[in-house]
Structure 1
Amino acid sequence: MAEREVSRGARRNLRVRYRLTPWWAKVLVVFVASRVVTTAILLSFAARQGPNAWTPAHPDYFDFAAIWDGHWYYIIAVAGYPSTLPVTADGQVGESAWAFMPAYPAIVRAFMLLTGQGFPVVSVFVSVTFALAAALMFYRLMHLVLPAGTALFAVVLFCVAPLSPILQVSYAESMHAFLLALALYLLMRRRYWMLIPVVAVMSLTRPSGLAFALAMLLHVAHRWRVQRPSARSRQEFPVRERVASITVGLFSAVMGVAWLLVAAVVTGSLTAYTDTEIAWRSSYIGYGELVPFTPWLSATGFWAPWFGMPQPLLLALLVLIVAGFFAALLTPWARRLGTDMRFWIASYALYLLAVFFPQSSVFRLLVPLFPALGVLAIPKSPVYRVVIVALCIAGQWAWAQLGWWVDGYDWTPP
């Protein structure tokens, strides 16, 4: 009997200590534990990695983390952008650094100069630091709409998600995730003017300015529509907030095309950025014009033989998936995220449908949809939570096998 009371008292003390633990400490524990798992997975692949275009066989962690697009960020960090566009043997614009935004390599370059360390070490340090900041900011964002325990489990899912290894390699995704979580937090708190510098840097980290501009347009329209013209509505959506929110939306739209204009001015080619982006998909469908909303349609023709199905069937499947995705945003579970987060998820999905050609990188480009993890965090069943975490960790291994590990002539870039 006494032992049972002692056991109950110990459990009670643990619960009390857990409740008294600051939220940031809980997030830090989750983040560190998740990085141990993800690092172990990446190291297991590095140990089996053969010679490739970027490293010799069996590279250390930092060199292994700087392959693929990390090498482009390295070129930008040490040499900047070319003033002329490379041209292929058949006269087409080739691949170049202009496909990558400047904010992340600029920060890496600054720390390289401050520390004297090389690109692989510094870039991983910058990515991991932003990943931790993103996890902390994501908790704050989720806690605006979900209870503390659910918000923390959303952070768990963020940290162990199948694409979470991308947060600790030489890519800009972790920096963008932090800025996006901060932008959505400021938007939901109606701190419009503070959004301007965040949107500026975010738009120069990963392409997102146009998607955020659409989210702002939906936000303004929603606030305007749900309130009838009355004295009360003028208090709920006062003129100063209308001016501020519209200004942020217009600014975000400008930032959405700012890099295109920079590339045009430096290279002298008005289509420098879009031509460069087309070069990256030319190995799949050749060269052509970048016409909005056509890449996914073209992709059905390319991928149908790979899936062993006729193109009309694959196209119908694509339509069903897209319709199901947007319908899911109307469910009671998704509504728990609030209107603004759902506006972002819908806007970014539309952006991807408009401009991106689907191939293996599509998984990485889905990372900015991470606020949707709040929906998956809502069920409280311990069995469900253990299973979904296990599936996420298994997904990390699968993604590293498919996308990150270089297996001979690898046509599945991450």
Structure 2
Amino acid sequence: MSALEEQEQQQLPVRPERLPHALWSRPGAWPWWLQIAAAYVAARAFSFLVFSGAAFKQGINPWMQPAPGYWDFVTIWDGRWYQIAAENGYPAQLPLDSLGNVQENAWAFYPVLPLLGKALSGVVGIPVLASMTAIAMVAGLLAALVVFRLFLQFSSHRTAFWGTVFVACFPVSAILQVPYAESLNLLFLAAALLALVQRRYVSAMPFVVLAALSRPMGVPFGALVGLLWAHRLWALFRERRRPDRAETRSLLAHGALTLVACTAALAWPALAWARTGDIAAYTKTETVWRGGGLVPFKPWWDMAVGTLGPVLGPVALLAFLVCSAWALLKAPAVRRIGVELRLWCACYLIYLLAFLQPQTSTFRLLLPLFPLGLAVAFVSRSKAYRWTVVLMFSLLQIVWVVWLWAWAQLPGGGDYPP
């Protein structure tokens, strides 16, 4: 950390009698959690306005009357699937059409959000969709606080603050206040990464399990901790030295975390198998939405060729891979976010390339790459630059909500999913 950044991190103490005035006149003197909470609430208030405007213009749709209110509008799309999972549970038999093909069903939606939503609904007495919306909003705020603490491991207070603001204003960040599992997953993932960076491997375990049971995060996280563990073992072998007792305990805990992460990655498909008796129940359900079987990496190749042609398509895909690899390995701003966060981004990108069907939902699925928000903050300390990023992200958020969240039937039926 540079001397200038260290100076940024130092905050002048505020005398108790002047605290009320300082809270209004000097936001920089606020406690860190209040700074982050205020920035996050402001970002969600902007998303509220965007959703409200889009809802006012919403026409005929599959869920409700035209021009719905905000609270109804944010519960469409997958929110209704989470509601089905919470109220009806997961089917013991996969639904089939007349040809024996698996139909869309709740097994595609991980259980943490439905379980919490059902529990809160039972305690408070509000509808499940309302309880899941409330959970998502609170989880998003908590996630912002954890993200800031994670970023603070690599940067000054001010840079970590701006990195967190960029995450809160990300073009798809509106998803953090709707009944989707993204905000819960962001909270658990950020907490697991923070514990990993601090080498608190046992503390990371419950967060890894919760992350893997809220969204499909187990595979890339298992790869992350496994590669880091293998590197530590290789370093010991290469140096031909015996670890001391503390390092041995750390290595054992790290290995246990790797095992937990890999087990958590398989837990939901295993539960679907146990419940339905079909070993491929989860995979069959997931692939219903893509209209074809699961062949790793092939969808991206097909998309590139189908969009840009047999020559330019593969060239563009290769250029994307090369640029991504260069950014994670060599870009100065990205290198400053630490090995663990860069490796997480690499593992998650490879996971998306291997298993994701590229479509409009891809934008939303990029949210777990949130550590790159800190890299964006490292690019420049200029206020003009940082406010410009916030402005551009906010404008793109309007595009995302109006284009993808609002429903408008395509000529062939249906609409692009958010």
Q: TM-score, normalised by structure 1?
A: 0.91
Q: For residues 168-247 of structure 1, what are the structure 2 equivalents within 5 Å?
A: 168-226=177-235, 229=239, 234-235=243-244, 238-247=247-256
1:298 aligned partner: 302
Amino acid at match of 2:128: F
Between the aligned partners of 1:353 and 1:26, the Cα distance in structure 2 is 36
* Structure 1 contact 124–168 (Cα < 8 Å) conserved: yes
Instruction: Point out the more displaced range, 40-49 or 218-227.
Output: 218-227
- 1:280 is aligned to 2:279: no
1:269 to 257, 267, 278: 278
1:412 to 400, 410, 416: 416
Q: How big is the shift at 1:275?
A: 0.8
- 1:342 is aligned to 2:351: no
Query: What secondary structure, in the 3-state scheme, does the structure 2 residue paired with 1:238 have?
Result: helix
Between the aligned partners of 1:394 and 1:88, the Cα distance in structure 2 is 42
Query: What secondary structure, in the 3-state scheme, does the structure 1 residue paired with 2:56 have?
Result: helix
Query: What secondary structure, in the 3-state scheme, does the structure 1 residue paired with 2:38 have?
Result: helix
For residues 256-292 of structure 1, the C-alpha deviation after alignment (integer angstroms, 9 at most, x for no partner) is: 111111111111111111111111100xxxx33x222
Instruction: Point out the more displaced range, 219-228 or 333-342.
Output: 219-228
- 1:393 is aligned to 2:403: no
1:86 to 85, 95, 119: 95
CA distance 1:112–1:324, change in 2 (3 Å)? same
Between the aligned partners of 1:23 and 1:353, the Cα distance in structure 2 is 37
- 1:140 is aligned to 2:171: no
Q: How big is the shift at 1:312?
A: 3.0
Between the aligned partners of 1:134 and 1:185, the Cα distance in structure 2 is 11
Instruction: Point out the more displaced range, 168-177 or 323-332.
Output: 323-332
Q: How big is the shift at 1:108?
A: 0.7
1:249 to 258, 267, 288: 258
- 1:355 is aligned to 2:364: no
CA distance 1:14–1:172, change in 2 (3 Å)? closer
Between the aligned partners of 1:212 and 1:251, the Cα distance in structure 2 is 10
Between the aligned partners of 1:370 and 1:226, the Cα distance in structure 2 is 29
* Structure 1 contact 334–342 (Cα < 8 Å) conserved: yes
2:11 aligned partner: none
Amino acid at match of 1:46: A
Q: How big is the shift at 1:235?
A: 4.6
For residues 118-150 of structure 1, the C-alpha deviation after alignment (integer angstroms, 9 at most, x for no partner) is: 123212111000000010000000000011000
Query: What secondary structure, in the 3-state scheme, does the structure 2 residue paired with 1:207 have?
Result: coil
* Structure 1 contact 223–237 (Cα < 8 Å) conserved: no
For residues 308-335 of structure 1, the C-alpha deviation after alignment (integer angstroms, 9 at most, x for no partner) is: x313312221121122112101122111
Between the aligned partners of 2:204 and 2:41, the Cα distance in structure 1 is 29
Q: How big is the shift at 1:74?
A: 0.5
How many aligned residue pairs are there?
Answer: 392
For residues 50-90 of structure 1, the C-alpha deviation after alignment (integer angstroms, 9 at most, x for no partner) is: 12111111111121111101110000110001111111233
Between the aligned partners of 1:120 and 1:62, the Cα distance in structure 2 is 9
Between the aligned partners of 1:236 and 1:221, the Cα distance in structure 2 is 19
* Structure 2 contact 95–105 (Cα < 8 Å) conserved: yes
For residues 239-268 of structure 1, the C-alpha deviation after alignment (integer angstroms, 9 at most, x for no partner) is: 111111111112111111111111111111
Amino acid at match of 1:96: N
* Structure 2 contact 172–367 (Cα < 8 Å) conserved: yes
For residues 330-367 of structure 1, the C-alpha deviation after alignment (integer angstroms, 9 at most, x for no partner) is: 12211111111111111111111111110000001111
Amino acid at match of 1:291: V
2:322 aligned partner: 323
- 1:39 is aligned to 2:48: yes
Q: How big is the shift at 1:14?
A: 8.7
Identity of aligned residues (%): 36
* Structure 2 contact 23–30 (Cα < 8 Å) conserved: no
Q: How big is the shift at 1:15?
A: 11
1:372 aligned partner: 372
Between the aligned partners of 2:23 and 2:121, the Cα distance in structure 1 is 44
CA distance 1:111–1:272, change in 2 (3 Å)? same
* Structure 2 contact 169–390 (Cα < 8 Å) conserved: yes
* Structure 2 contact 408–415 (Cα < 8 Å) conserved: no
1:313 aligned partner: 312
Query: What secondary structure, in the 3-state scheme, does the structure 1 residue paired with 2:289 have?
Result: helix
Query: What secondary structure, in the 3-state scheme, does the structure 2 residue paired with 1:311 have?
Result: coil
CA distance 1:394–1:16, change in 2 (3 Å)? closer
CA distance 1:243–1:94, change in 2 (3 Å)? same
Q: How big is the shift at 1:178?
A: 0.5
1:3 aligned partner: none
* Structure 1 contact 224–237 (Cα < 8 Å) conserved: no
1:6 aligned partner: none
Between the aligned partners of 1:16 and 1:78, the Cα distance in structure 2 is 48
* Structure 2 contact 28–35 (Cα < 8 Å) conserved: no
CA distance 1:80–1:281, change in 2 (3 Å)? same
CA distance 1:90–1:299, change in 2 (3 Å)? farther
Query: What secondary structure, in the 3-state scheme, does the structure 2 residue paired with 1:144 have?
Result: coil
Query: What secondary structure, in the 3-state scheme, does the structure 2 residue paired with 1:57 have?
Result: coil
Query: What secondary structure, in the 3-state scheme, does the structure 1 residue paired with 2:91 have?
Result: coil
* Structure 1 contact 204–259 (Cα < 8 Å) conserved: yes
* Structure 2 contact 39–165 (Cα < 8 Å) conserved: yes
* Structure 1 contact 62–120 (Cα < 8 Å) conserved: no
